[in-house]
Amino acid sequence: MLQFKKITGAYQSNTQTQFIMRNTFKLNAGVVLAAFLITLGGCKNKEKYPGPLTPEEALESIKVIDGLKVELFAAEPLVTDPVTMEFDADGNCYVVVMSDYPDKPAPGTEKGHILVLRDLDGDGKADTSIVFADKLSEGTSVLPWKGGLLVTAAPEILYMKDTTGDFVADTREVLFSGFFKDNPETQITNLRFGVDNWIYANNRGQDGNVTFKEKPGTPPLSVKGADFRFRLDRGLFELETGPGQFGQALDEYRNRFVTENSIHIQQILIPWRYTHRHAFLPSTRSIKNISDHDPIMFQESATPWWRAERTKRRNQEFQEKKLKRVEYERDHFTGASGGTFYNGDALPKQFYGNIFTAEVAGNLVHRDILVSYPDSIYFTAKRSAEEAKREFIYSKDNWFRPVNFSVGPDGYLYVLDYYRQHIETPVSIPDDLKADMDFYKGSDKGRIYRVMPAGGTYKKASPALSKASSDSLVQLFAHPNQWYALQAHRLLVERQDKTVIPALQNVFLQSADPRARLHALYVLEAFDALNAGIVKEALADSSNDVKEHAVILAERYPELLPELVSLAKGSSAKLTLQTALSLGQFNAPQVTPALVQVMEHYGNYREIQMAVLSSNAGSAPAMLSALFKSSIASDSTKLPNVFIHDCSYVIGNRNDKAQLAQFVSLLDQPGMVFNKRQAIAIKGFVNGWEKSTTISAELKKELGSVKSGLKNITVETIDNLKKLVASTK
């Protein structure tokens, strides 16, 4: 009977039933009943949670849109629990295995590791697996660097390298430490090398005090509320706007998109360095859900029993408490993961520039087409016509758990399938529902698939870029598979071979491909080979994407301020956003009128308002005064009330005596007396001043009295405010 309790799986249950039937005459009634109940229990569990499919069966269950097919690249036992895959400059394939999820392993018992998968016979399937590094605690992403790998493994970012050629790391050092390490779903991850020479990582806004090995005397950097970026060629590290969870996509122009479990695609609009150049903004949030179809996804697999039951309970609780909330058990994003920008050339051209996002709970892969409009500061993520009522890839197999993607030197799209029976964190499931759930069921499995044209055959790529000459690397910037361009760019930054500066300049001046011109521009930047002349040339580029980066680089050259002022007059919305941000880096009289022009063109955008307010010039009384005298003074669309409130808030919060006096003098300006705008300005000013960290408790109390009288502003109210300002030390 003990053997019966250990038997699992459909085939074994049937065998067990036959055994019972054949041997009934040998068993007494009590034993027969016990055996029958065991059998029923096995069937019940089978109904709740189906068993796994073989790799071949799982492949058959995967459905992709017409014109494409899915092939198996690797499966168990070569790989299990894959979460990230990257190819180095020579095409070697590295896979991060995260076997300890969802629990935290005790020190010394870590099962996580990094594999090198090799296809030695060139048939498109991995046939060799080598452990590059083992005992990895919660590793989640890797990035090639100087012949080795950068590895995120909270609380650290590591550097590992094989120096003997056997694909086994023999050096391991900690570069950064101090990141959050209490939840594998919200830790430092998603290393991405950007065209601007920075390496970006998602931190999910988690708290941590980060130190850098190469800067031992530098105070720890608090990363709470932010993501993270660093440059190893310059020894720099800083906060970045977020937060992103597991999934970060950088396009060829370093537009940044992040994934969050219930919001599958968001765009970062303003970098942290701008929103935090002064500490007085009422809000610094600059991330936008750009999907025009969120939160809907089309799930073909059955809803897991535990999820259906939990949803039923939660909705019942919402109803009992009369809350206007509804939880959905399916067809809504809840496990979005691994957003990846496709920049390869093996799929048909219409897929270039798409972002692919996995949905681990829905057993599917979602595709977004990014659409850009001249009058929009952000992209719009749209469904394709073919996927109006279905997903790019789906399976009815509940074990299909796509978590991430990769694009390699062969140009194909790879899909990483974690392949587990359950993927949800146990913390969010009631105890009685998870009593019969094994969260490690499937930890001995894992699949990696390749998406390719339906009529095509696999074409192996053998790049060997680490041995290529620097001159030949420069020529790869316009490669149709931008994997080559990024690898070449990174290798040049690592080598610092300045003999190729003339070749870089030639590509920048003559290439017809804006992506190549941008690569050349930033490699020149990495070589300290930029000058005002080159950047001025870039400011006149035919591509707005190149211009946008030229505006950033122009911040280093005061002599280029007139060009930035000119761009503020009539550029596209996205370029104008960056122009407003960069203008704010200058302290010159012409900045304020240029920012007024920015508001005249795109003041209706909240992010444009934030860009203006993030600078000292754009958040000063002189800015308000200029706007009240401008052509949009009475236009509540271009000069919204919220901007007046926030600008006044910053002035008050800054608590600079000269600016306080300048602000109250504005209240006497024609058109401001006793109208709605005046009331909004005073309210913002008082709110900001009250929250200043540098005012006394007595003044804070007096400001509270002023606030209570803001509903009906009188001359006396304004006079009292002026007196309060005049008495401030």
pLDDT digits (tens, 9 = 90+) for 28-45: 444 333 333 334 444 444
Asked if residue 15 has pLDDT above 90, the reply is no
What pLDDT, on the 0 to 100 scale, is given for residue 72? 98
What pLDDT, on the 0 to 100 scale, is given for residue 669? 67
Average pLDDT over residues 284-311: 96
What b/e sequence results for 224-255 when a residue is b if at least 16 CB atoms lie within 10 Å of its CB, and e otherwise? ebbbbbbbbeeeebbbbbbbbbbbbbbbbbbb
Average pLDDT over residues 77-86: 98
**Summary mean pLDDT of the chain:** 91
Asked if residue 5 has pLDDT above 50, the reply is no
Beta strands 256-260 and 248-250, pairing class: antiparallel
Asked if residue 591 has pLDDT above 60, the reply is yes
pLDDT digits (tens, 9 = 90+) for 399-410: 999 999 999 999
What pLDDT, on the 0 to 100 scale, is given for residue 46? 53
- What proportion of the chain, given as a percentage, has pLDDT over 70? 92
- 472 falls in which pLDDT band (50, 70, 90)? very high
pLDDT digits (tens, 9 = 90+) for 666-704: 887 655 544 678 888 999 999 999 999 999 888 888 888
Q: Is 417 strand, coil or helix?
A: strand
What pLDDT, on the 0 to 100 scale, is given for residue 14? 37
305, 422 contact by CB (below 8 A): no
pLDDT digits (tens, 9 = 90+) for 201-232: 999 999 999 999 999 999 999 999 999 999 99
CATH superfamily of 62-304+331-453: TolB, C-terminal domain (2.120.10.30)
What pLDDT, on the 0 to 100 scale, is given for residue 2? 32
Cis peptide before 107 (omega within 30 of 0): no
Average pLDDT over residues 230-255: 97
- 559 falls in which pLDDT band (50, 70, 90)? very high
Cα–Cα dist 702/134, whole Å: 63
Tell which residue, 149, 40, 26, has the closest CA to residue 84. Answer: 149
Is residue 490 exposed (0-12), middle (13-18) or buried (19+ Cβ within 10 Å)?
A: buried
Q: Is 201 strand, coil or helix?
A: strand
Asked if residue 320 has pLDDT above 80, the reply is yes
Residue 588, phi then psi, degrees to nearest 5:
-145, 150
- 492 falls in which pLDDT band (50, 70, 90)? very high
Longest dimension (CA), the chain: 104
What pLDDT, on the 0 to 100 scale, is given for residue 670? 59
Q: Is 213 strand, coil or helix?
A: coil
Asked if residue 25 has pLDDT above 90, the reply is no
pLDDT digits (tens, 9 = 90+) for 609-658: 999 999 999 999 999 999 999 999 989 899 999 999 999 999 999 999 99
- Between vectors from CA 330 to CA 324 and to CA 332, what angle results, nearest 5°? 70
Better-scored residue on pLDDT, 132 or 427: 132
Asked if residue 537 has pLDDT above 90, the reply is yes
Tell which residue, 127, 129, 122, 128, has the closest CA to residue 457. Answer: 122
What pLDDT, on the 0 to 100 scale, is given for residue 61? 98
Asked if residue 520 has pLDDT above 50, the reply is yes
Contacts of 44 by beta carbon, 8 Å cutoff, 6+ apart: none
Beta-ladder partners of 144: 149
Residue 289, phi then psi, degrees to nearest 5:
-70, 115
The number of beta carbons lying within 10 Å of the beta carbon of residue 570 is: 10
What pLDDT, on the 0 to 100 scale, is given for residue 251? 98
- 722 falls in which pLDDT band (50, 70, 90)? confident
- What proportion of the chain, given as a percentage, has pLDDT over 90? 82
For 91, 341, 413, 428, 470, the CA distances from 348, given in Å and listed in that order, are: 22, 15, 11, 41, 30
Enumerate the domain spans of the chain: 2-48, 62-304+331-453, 620-729
Asked if residue 512 has pLDDT above 70, the reply is yes
Asked if residue 199 has pLDDT above 60, the reply is yes
Average pLDDT over residues 477-491: 98
Cα–Cα dist 509/505, whole Å: 6
256, 248 contact by CB (below 8 A): yes
Asked if residue 305 has pLDDT above 50, the reply is yes
What pLDDT, on the 0 to 100 scale, is given for residue 34? 39
Tell me the two tokens of residue 296.
């809907």
Tell me the two tokens of residue 24.
């009934």
Cα–Cα dist 502/116, whole Å: 37
What pLDDT, on the 0 to 100 scale, is given for residue 104? 83
For 44, 57, 76, 433, the CA distances from 9, given in Å and listed in that order, are: 12, 16, 19, 21
Asked if residue 7 has pLDDT above 70, the reply is no
Cα–Cα dist 221/175, whole Å: 14
Q: pTM score, two decimals?
A: 0.91
Cα–Cα dist 489/477, whole Å: 8
